[in-house]
Structure 1
Amino acid sequence: MNKPLADRIRPTTIDDVVGQQHILGKGKILRNIIESGKIPNMIFYGLSGTGKTTVANIAANTSHKALYRLNATNASVADVKAIVKESEGLLGQDGVLLYLDEIQNFNKKQQQSLLEYTENGRITLIASTTENPYFCVYNAILSRSTVFEFKALLPEDIEHALKRALDILQKEDFPKNKLIVEDGVLRHMAEKSGGDLRKALNALELAANYTIPDEKNQICLTMETAQQCTQKKVFQYDKDGDSHYDILSAFQKSIRGSDPDAAVHYLARLIAADDIQSICRRLMVIACEDVGLAYPSAITIVKACVDSALMLGFPEARIPLAQAVILLATAPKSNASYMAINSALYDLEHIDTGTIPRQLQNKHYDGEGNVEKGQNYLYPHDYPNHYVPQQYLPDKIRDKIYYVPGNNKQEQAAKEYWDKIKKK
């Protein structure tokens, strides 16, 4: 059975690895580590198809250690122990390098089992994960490892690799045919892969294998063929992973920054991922956190758009969602209420705020032992403008200011009104 193209094109030297120049370029730390042959415990973190397995293979070769591979999705502690036992023989005389893929699928106890062997040097661990290791990898392993982030590949990096793959296909799979590729085909595949080289290679292999040769025995890879093999652009999106939170973060920050174009772009990404719940939840938060009192009606309008979207479902839901996004992005901004409640909660956690003033307590009668008689609460509606000066905060924080009006028309108008009433 022929090996997949992605395996056949796998580089054996650092110079052949595409992308990741921030860690593999000349003089960069990971490159220096690999070239030294002295491999420490490492964690490779990044999206699929960005070269983590390839670099681990190269590291193992330069270290001259016996390489073992496990995938945490279906491996167990027993598999790790079996590798340790094998390392006691001739194969492990120079040490063992264990490449553990998808380490996030090992629970805490399973990850802890690795510590004993990494600490005594029986195993050098290179673990990979598509999720943030600071959230999914046990702290003791993190503290004993160096973390390297593998970034999504650029289209030009992927296109370069596709050209090498095309040569391999021509020599190994189609020696009697001539592969002809229309201009733009490889670039199209690269751009549709979402930074995942493996996806692009699979598309190229699919196109080559299932395109019927013409009368000249030529296999012509056209743009139409490329479009059929790639179908929909790949989005690196995992509802429980980093890409999910990165897009949501960019979404909210674009709205907060009053950039409707960027906000609609990130909305489109979320829609492409069919993540309506996250969109709706985040819009409700933004309406209160970032627009807030500068446009108090925003939450009402956004709630109506959200309800409509949930009732309609995709694809029609994109319309009220876009309306809500553009409304929030172009609305005046205030985080005054957000800052006020955060400040109040901070004080509750960190300082003694004292007791509620007597006039605000729910006092209906005074016991015999009470020196102070009467609640002395002043009912504001009995006074002009429904206001009367009165202490509401506890004594210990009586002069504390939590709410600072934002510099917008709505809040400034309210401030002007109350400054006049309170005669400040």
Structure 2
Amino acid sequence: MTSRAESGQPEGLFDDPAGGPAQSPAPESAAASRNTGTEAGQPLAVRMRPRGLDEVVGQAHLLGPGTPIRQLVDRDAPMSLVLWGPPGTGKTTLATVVSHVTSRRFVEVSAVSDGVKRVRAEIDLARRELGMTGRQTVLFVDEVHRFNKAQQDALLPAVENRWVSFIGATTENPFFSVISPLLSRSLLLTLQPLGEDDLREVIRRALADERGLRGAVGLDPAAEDHLIRLAGGDARRTLTYLEAGSLVVEEGGTIDVDVLERAVDRAAVRYDREGDQHYDVISAFIKSIRGSDVDAALHYLARMIEAGEDPRFIARRLVVHASEDVGMADPTALQTAVAAAQAVELVGLPEVRINLAQAVIHLALAPKSNAVVKAVDEALGDVRKGLAGAVPTHLREAHYTGAKQLGHGKGYKYAHDHPGGVVRQQYAPDAVDGREYYRPTRHGAESRFTEVLARIRSVLRGTRANGTP
């Protein structure tokens, strides 16, 4: 397979065959360019690729002053990078921008379609270019995790001897998908999904920029929100959907939610994360779990996920529900809910939808009891009414100097010295002595606590002899 240089094709995204800036032929009209979706046949996502680091949206942790990539660009030194992040976060963009701003020759290899033969040919060409002209080559390997060990080994001599500046892009964890020798010789940079503000900036530029839609169409705010939800932090997907919407409306028109739904074939979920829908849906979600309707609960879960609800918010509600509406009827429900909340932080969307669904199913099908929340609220109610009183003297701290003179600890009975670990004595203050806050139900695992608690209380109050509760 011949290289782009050998075939006469531009060596870099912004190079023409002669090495100068690419000159795109001016379209006949903005509408013609918009309707074909091309400038030299390129889709909007390609046309809008940044031409310099200052145009890159997002990834501020990688591009700020003093960051490694800034230093590598400013020093124009050989480099070896592994870019790890979800699709559409700018891995290819960063590679091409680095090549462009440093005047390096840029060669892109896809691990999906190219093999070792192509890699070795490009490395040989890079060595000749370096020896004859001193011009360095950026060898960008997209989806590098798809190369097997032998194929990745072929890159090592070029990286080790700095014949090329290697940049590998991967969506997979490089500690598992990239061989250790290659990873140890590279600087690992982790890219994050773009935030809402970043995606709005991407959209704004594409609508107005001469390389983009040139102001030929407008975008309704509700459609912009829907577009951002659909994008899922992926800038490429954002621009692809925006371009699809622009082809549906006439020049000078506005892309609204209906247009976007037709163009993308994806229904918009009517959901306002700060309005009625937010509160109505989460209310229906919890009430469906409480009512043991697992199918309705899963529907509302899907509705929130699809609308872009913060998964941490969903997880927090599940943790609360596990104690409020399941409680001791199934003590493992809280463990499942907490595990799902931890998975949100460790995994994130889209995969964490599975963990959240598991927790929803567990809670919906679990036996229900509100005895826990009723117990603590009733106790709080008494305290707020002033029913507190002094701590019984025999329960007070008795290990400091002078405590015994005050009678602290006198008469205290150590529970472990008595049969069953329970002994008759007063624990509550006089004001609430004898009050019963926790009233277990006969539902699920809580039924056994009904009998256990009755036996314990009878021993504490002297209506039953000491024994194993």
| TM tier relative to shorter chain | 0.5 to 0.7
- State the structure with more CA Rg: 2
Aligned residue runs from structure 1 range 309-324, under 5 A: 322-324=360-362
Q: Alignment partner for residue 151 of structure 2, among 107, 110, 126? A: 110
Paired AA for residue 248 in structure 2: Y
Query: Is residue 2:279 matched to residue 1:223?
Result: no
Note the 1:27-66 alignment, pairs <5 A: 27-66=66-105
Q: Alpha carbons of 1:105 and 1:206: their partners in 2 closer, same or farther (altered >3 Å)?
A: same
Offset, 1:59: 1.5
* C-alpha deviation, 1:167, in angstroms: 1.5
Aligned length: 281
* Equivalent of 2:116 in 50, 57, 77: 77
Deviation at 1:225, TM superposition (A): 1.0
2:208 aligned with 1:167: yes
**Structure 2 gaps, min length 5:** 1-39, 269-296, 307-321, 334-355, 371-445, 456-464
Q: Counterparts of 2:305 and 2:96 in 1: how far apart (Å)?
A: 37
Query: What does 1:1-400 align with in structure 2 at a 5 Å threshold?
Result: 1-90=40-129, 93-168=134-209, 171=210, 178-213=216-251, 218-232=252-266, 268=302, 295=330, 322-326=360-364
CA positional deviation for 1:163: 1.1
TM-score of the superposed pair, with normalisation by structure 2? 0.50
Whether contact under 8 Å (1:66, 1:91) holds in the other structure is no
* 1:410–1:206 Cα change, 3 Å: same
Query: Any idea what the Cα deviations from partners look like across 1:172-213, whole Å, max 9, x if unmatched?
Result: 6877x9423323333331232000011110111111123235
RMSD, aligned α-carbons: 4.5
What secondary structure, in the 3-state scheme, does the structure 2 residue paired with 1:69 have? Answer: strand
**Structure 1: segments with no counterpart, 5+ residues:** 235-262, 273-286, 299-317, 333-407
Report the Cα distance in structure 2 between the residues aligned to 1:121 and 1:29, rounded to whole angstroms.
Answer: 18
- Whether the 8 Å contact between 1:194 and 1:233 is mirrored in structure 2 is no
Q: 1:71: how far off? A: 0.6
Give the TM-score taking structure 1 as reference length. 0.55
Is the CA contact (8 Å cut-off) linking 1:264 and 1:326 kept in structure 2? no
Q: Counterparts of 1:112 and 1:99 in 2: how far apart (Å)?
A: 16
**3-state DSSP of counterpart to 2:188:** strand
Deviations 1:326-353 (CA, angstroms, capped at 9, x unpaired)? 4679899xxxxxxxxxxxxxxxxxxxxx
| 2:440 counterpart residue number | none
| Matched AA of 1:41 | S
Cα distance between partner residues in 1 of 2:367 and 2:155: 49
Question: Which amino acid in 1 is paired with 2:67?
Answer: K
- For residues 85 and 357 of structure 2, what CA distance do their matches in structure 1 show? 33
- Aligned partner of 2:393 in structure 1 is none
Cα offset, 1:113, TM superposition: 1.3
For residue 193 of structure 2, give the secondary structure of its aligned residue in structure 1.
coil
Q: Percent identity?
A: 30
For the residues of structure 2 that align with 1:117 and 1:329, how far apart are their CA atoms? 63
- For 1:330 and 1:65, how far apart are their aligned partners in 2? 66
Q: Quote the Cα distance in structure 1 between the aligned partners of 2:267 and 2:66.
A: 35
Q: Write the deviation string for residues 218-276 of structure 1: whole angstroms up to 9, x where unpaired.
A: 32222211233344489xxxxxxxxxxxxxxxxxxxxxxxxxxxx9799649997xxxx
2:329, 2:367 within 8 Å by CA — same for their partners in 1? no
- From the superposition, tell whether residues 141 and 172 of structure 1 become closer, same or farther in structure 2 (CA, over 3 Å): closer
